[in-house]
Structure 1
């Protein structure tokens, strides 16, 4: 079972790193494009705040979002706000999430996330850690995949490999950094490939942040991955 208390501590640390880095921005730079197509840095910060509140809903037994349209509308609404408002919202919503997670509860219970996805409550803190770390990178302000904590990189590679395991559109793939290996994709597609490279490069490819140019592929070409 996931160690939710340790993951909640990691979420706090990652949130502080992001807030400290983002505080060096200004109103103009918040309005500039992020690394996510169609999103400014303001969109990224607004999403992080609204995602924290959505996970409060999950912990308290409500739908994560009222709808996909409402989620997108809330992010678009909040994206143009000044930097100080954005940072306060990220900090305050993060505190609300930590407070919700501190309420005694059955951490083995099943909770529902977006689009009908379910998971155990104990894995929700790690999912939030993913949001904070990867979107810090997406801000494009000097925090790169290579700067991510080693534990996070290893766990996120395993998380994504598991997510694509059995996917009929993903060629069976062994992913390795030379010392560790993960299997993903579907064996029904025939002989697979082995993808080798540094862990940050593997993660970048699996999470759609890099094109895989820094990876070595044996047995074929780099498999196409569906969007997350």
Structure 2
């Protein structure tokens, strides 16, 4: 069962880890490339702040973003800001998200996210946790997939494996780290491919953060995954 209050606490802790690491940067480092193609570290920080506000919108029953174009324009506008402004925005927007999450509400209700995707309100804090943890890695400042909390890695693999389940472009696939297994891809009586590797490598591949070179595939080539 999803515990939204516990996830909100995990979001708060993850945000503090990110801010404590990012404060050691300088203005020049903010303008340098992140690990996300075409984005500087400033883009990543700006996105984190605007995503927090967008998820407040979701919790309060408003559209997540006015439009895809407005979302992109806001990130481009905010990306060049100095480090202190970036970090203050990430911290303040994170506080607004925590405040919205603390309001008594029906957490079983269905909410609408970006692109018409719907989910239970109770899963919104975990979705924010994903944003903070993976984008901390994307900053390229020494926080790696191997540093992610074990609970987070397990749950995100669960989430991404479920996301690709039934996808016509992904062959029936079994994922395993040697102690636990997941299934994803098209429905079938048996998997076409078994992919084996560590939890961080499995997560990195599923989340588009690693190319899968640390994984082994039996029964066929490593499947090509569609973009998230």
Q: Answer whether TM exceeds 0.5 for this pair.
A: yes
| Contact 1:193/1:218 (<8 A) preserved | yes
Report what 2:76 is aligned to: 76
**What is the correspondence of 1:24-103 to structure 2 with a 5 Å cutoff?**
24-103=24-103
Query: By how many angstroms is 1:188 displaced?
Result: 5.3
Structure 1 pair 189–79 and aligned structure 2 pair: CA distance change class (3 A):
farther
Name the TM-score, length of structure 1 as normaliser.
0.98
Report what 1:183 is aligned to: 183
Query: By how many angstroms is 1:189 displaced?
Result: 10
Larger deviation, residues 121-130 vs 190-199: 190-199
Supply the distance in 2 between the matched residues of 1:43 and 1:191 (Cα, whole angstroms).
Answer: 39
Query: By how many angstroms is 1:191 displaced?
Result: 5.0
Report what 1:13 is aligned to: 13
Segments of 5+ residues of structure 1 without an aligned counterpart are: none
Segments of 5+ residues of structure 2 without an aligned counterpart are: none
Supply the distance in 1 between the matched residues of 2:54 and 2:65 (Cα, whole angstroms).
Answer: 6
Supply the distance in 2 between the matched residues of 1:186 and 1:15 (Cα, whole angstroms).
Answer: 36
Report runs of 4+ in structure 1 exceeding 3 Å deviation.
Answer: 188-191
Deviations 1:24-57 (A, max 9, x none): 0000000000000000000000000000000000
Query: By how many angstroms is 1:109 displaced?
Result: 0.1
Structure 1 pair 142–120 and aligned structure 2 pair: CA distance change class (3 A):
same
Report what 1:125 is aligned to: 125
How many residues are paired up? 228
| Contact 2:174/2:191 (<8 A) preserved | no
Query: By how many angstroms is 1:192 displaced?
Result: 1.2
Deviations 1:154-183 (A, max 9, x none): 000000000000000011110000001100
Name the TM-score, length of structure 2 as normaliser.
0.98
Report what 1:154 is aligned to: 154
Q: Equivalent residue of 1:54, what SS?
A: helix
